[in-house]
């Protein structure tokens, strides 16, 4: 399976199958293996397997409702931007980390869905409050995780189109 091509957003999970805490930690390690500007990192992770907290998070935005269908998730946290050498690159660093979670999850047969939080202040504040994330750290994104309800959810969606491709100059 080439996970980059097979990955897709999964929003329906088989709640009878649980992802182990250890596997969730491995997904965080995959996230932290992502590149970051000047290797500054500036990231932290919260493994979520408390259904009560996950249900609270499901109300932070319309798109977060997917969380009510799952019992595991990861919150990707940005750490103090002022402590970083290239703070203006922190958001890209965080995005790379989220993508690694999605790819590694796919590799393990785990379904995932990116839930956008940053830069919407009301969402950031709600997540920070629920997760006890203190300023200047901030919640960047949530990832819903679980074994897919449907079989064969991973397939190449054929997103590529040849007109996206340019050679040497745009």
Ligand X SMILES: Cc1cc2nc3c(=O)[nH]c(=O)nc-3n(C[C@H](O)[C@H](O)[C@H](O)COP(=O)(O)O)c2cc1C
Residues lying near ligand X in the complex (CB under 6 A): 8-9, 11, 61, 63-64, 66, 113-116, 157
* Smaller CB separation from ligand X, 14 or 99: 99
Q: How far is the CB of 64 from ligand X (least distance, A)?
A: 6
Report how far residue 166's alpha carbon sits from residue 149's, in angstroms, rounded to the nearest whole number.
39
Q: Is 152 left (phi over 0), alpha (psi -120 to 50) or beta?
A: left
C-alpha distances in angstroms, 141 versus 6, 33, 74, 155?
22, 17, 8, 25
* Smaller CB separation from ligand X, 24 or 102: 102
Q: How far is the CB of 169 from ligand X (least distance, A)?
A: 28
* Smaller CB separation from ligand X, 37 or 91: 91
Report how far residue 88's alpha carbon sits from residue 81's, in angstroms, rounded to the nearest whole number.
8
Q: How far is the CB of 82 from ligand X (least distance, A)?
A: 24
């Amino acid at each position: 399976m080439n996970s980059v091509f097979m990955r897709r957003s999964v929003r329906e999970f088989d709640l009878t199958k649980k992802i182990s805490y250890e596997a969730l930690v491995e997904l965080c390690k995959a996230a932290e293996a992502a590149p970051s500007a000047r290797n500054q990192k500036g990231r932290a992770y919260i493994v979520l397997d408390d259904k009560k907290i996950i249900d609270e998070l499901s109300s932070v935005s319309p798109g977060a409702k997917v969380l009510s269908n799952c019992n595991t998730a990861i919150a990707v946290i940005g750490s103090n931007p002022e402590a970083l050498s290239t703070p203006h690159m922190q958001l890209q660093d965080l995005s790379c980390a989220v993508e690694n979670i999605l790819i590694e999850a796919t590799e393990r047969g785990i379904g995932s869905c990116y839930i956008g939080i940053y830069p919407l202040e009301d969402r950031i504040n709600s997540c920070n409050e629920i997760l006890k994330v203190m300023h200047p750290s901030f919640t960047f994104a949530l990832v819903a995780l679980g074994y897919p309800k449907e079989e064969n959810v991973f397939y190449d969606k054929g997103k590529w189109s040849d007109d996206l491709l340019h050679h040497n100059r745009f």
